[in-house]
Structure 1
C-alpha cells in the first residue's frame, strides 16, 4: 500500500533547507573572518571545506537516487538528498562558533 504524504512532509524539507542556508551563511562568515585573521580557524579549514562538500553532495545524491529507484515518494527522496548537507552545515556551524574570535 502506498504511503500517503501530506503538505507537512514537504514543509519539513523546506525547513531543513532553510536551516542549511542560514547555517551555511554563518559558516561562510566565520571562514572569511578566519581568512582575515579575525576568527580562530584551524590551518586545515580550506581543505576541509572542499572535502566535506564533495562527500555531502555525493552521499545525498546517492541516497536520493537509491530511494528514487526504490519508488520512494518525492518528499522522502528530497529529505535523503538534504540530510548529509544539513548534517555537515550543522556540525561546521557548531564547531566554528565554539572557536570564537581571535584574541590579540
Structure 2
C-alpha cells in the first residue's frame, strides 16, 4: 500500500491566490481614487484616461478568458486556472498604479 506525497504547492495555492487577489484589489482601489480625483480636477490627468479606463477592462476580460481556457485546456488545477485568469488584470492594475502615481 503506497502513500501519496504531500504536495506543498497545492496546499499553499489558496493562500497564494488570495494574496494575488488582495494585492490586485488594493491597487484597484488606489486606481479608483486617483481616477476619480482626476475627473474632479483635483489631480492632473491625461484627457484620454476615461476612455482608457473603459477600453482596458474589455481587453483584460478577453485576455483573462483566453488565459483561463488555455490553462484549463492544459489540465491545470482550479487555482492555476484562477491565477491565469487574474494575471491580465493584475498586469493592468500594477501598470495603472505606476502610471497614475508618477510625478508629472
The structure 2 residue matched to 1:52, chosen from 51, 56, 78, is 56
Return structure 1 stretches of 4+ with deviation > 6 angstroms: none
The two structures have a TM-score, normalised by structure 2, of: 0.86
- For the pair shown, the structure with the greater C-alpha radius of gyration is 2
Which one scores higher on RCO, CA 8 angstroms, separation ≥ 6? 1
The structure 1 residue matched to 2:35, chosen from 27, 31, 35, is 31
Q: What is the Cα deviation at residue 4 of structure 1?
A: 7.5
Q: 1:85 to 1:48 in 2, by over 3 A?
A: same
Q: What is residue 68 of structure 2 aligned with on the other side?
A: 64
CA distance in 1, matches of 2:98, 2:70: 30
Check whether the contact 1:27–1:89 (CA below 8 A) recurs between aligned residues.
yes
The structure 1 residue matched to 2:17, chosen from 8, 13, 23, is 13
Gapped regions of structure 1 (runs ≥ 5)? none
Check whether the contact 1:41–1:99 (CA below 8 A) recurs between aligned residues.
no
